[in-house]
Amino acid sequence: MKKEALNIWEHAQGLLELVYARGLDQVPEMDAAAQGAELLAPFIGQPVFGGDPENQLVLTRPRLLDVGCGGAHFYHSLKKRGLLVDYFGLDSSHKMVGRARKAFEVLGLDPQRILLGAVEDLWERRFELAVVINVLTFCPDFREPLDRLVDAGVKALVIRDNFGPTTTIRWEPDGYLDEGFNHLKGYWNQWGKDEVSLFFQSRGFRTEFVLDRRTQGQVEMVVDKPYHWSWLVASRL
Ligand SMILES: C[S@@+](CC[C@H](N)C(=O)[O-])C[C@H]1O[C@@H](n2cnc3c(N)ncnc32)[C@H](O)[C@@H]1O
């Protein structure tokens, strides 16, 4: 009850309409979705023979979880590039999930592939790959979401987030929500690159930060908050 009423993502009608259009693939692909799909590509495909199968990172039709999927438009970015996965979306906003499921229905896809829930509550589900685009920043901490994904068995994660030299927790109003809801606050956190790398190393993953193609390392203001968008590719050692 409380979560839904206070969730900023439930009170942005204009964004929800855009998200639905994205889910239907009716608007141009987001730059972030394009780069995310390209970064995932090396992990999707035919198995490479000759190595230790335990350490094999190239996965045939892996189960992929799109965390904080919004309208699930990332499905289209994968499909356009011929990247064959078993796609699942997860989002904690009822309205986002409603839009994504509706778009899937219209497109003749299975709406049950869109899961409702917070990544922190992921439980008893298994995935080989995860993509987390512009989501972790809205979580109170990065550790619990990432631990749930590690526990779910993922072999590699592609993450776009506000990664900077230090961790900074911001709990502030959004300010751009529907009329009457601009008192609602959310997290707008920045995660320290070294801290996140150390976390992944301790879980048995290697990490590589990749320049964000759209923002080119420049600070971008997102609802008046400074963002250092960067990609992180984490894969099991
Ligand atoms: C900025 S949107 C990003 C949507 C999509 N990934 C994209 O790149 O367009 C953030 C999304 O993350 C969802 N979200 C925020 N916190 C979440 C959490 N803890 N678990 C699952 N989804 C979450 C929101 O409901 C929202 O749909």
pTM here is 0.95
Position 123 scores a pLDDT of 94
- Give which of 89, 83, 160, 161 is closest to 125, Cα–Cα: 89
Q: What is the pLDDT of residues 168-184, one digit of tens each?
A: 999 999 999 999 999 99
Strand runs labelled E in 92-216: 114-116, 129-133, 156-164, 171-173, 185-187, 191-192, 205-211
**What residues does each domain of the chain span?**
2-236
Confidence of residue 3 (pLDDT cuts 50, 70, 90): confident
77 alpha-carbon distance from chain centroid: 13
Of 5 and 102, more confident: 102
Binding pocket residue ranges, ligand 1, CB within 6 Å: 9, 30, 32, 67-70, 90-93, 96, 118-120, 133-135, 138-139
Atom of ligand 1 lying closest to residue 30 CA: 9
Tell which residue, 193, 195, 39, has the closest CA to residue 130. Answer: 39
19 Cα nearest atom in ligand 1: 9
Examine the pLDDT at 57 and tell me if it is beyond 80.
no
The pLDDT of residue 51 is above 90 = no
Q: Which fold has domain 2-236?
A: Rossmann fold (3.40.50)
Mean pLDDT of 101-110: 98
19 vs 75: CA distance, rounded Å: 13
C-alpha R_g of the chain: 17
Rounded CA-CA distance 205/184 in Å is 36
Q: How far apart are CA 192 and CA 182, in angstroms?
A: 28
Average pLDDT over residues 95-117: 98
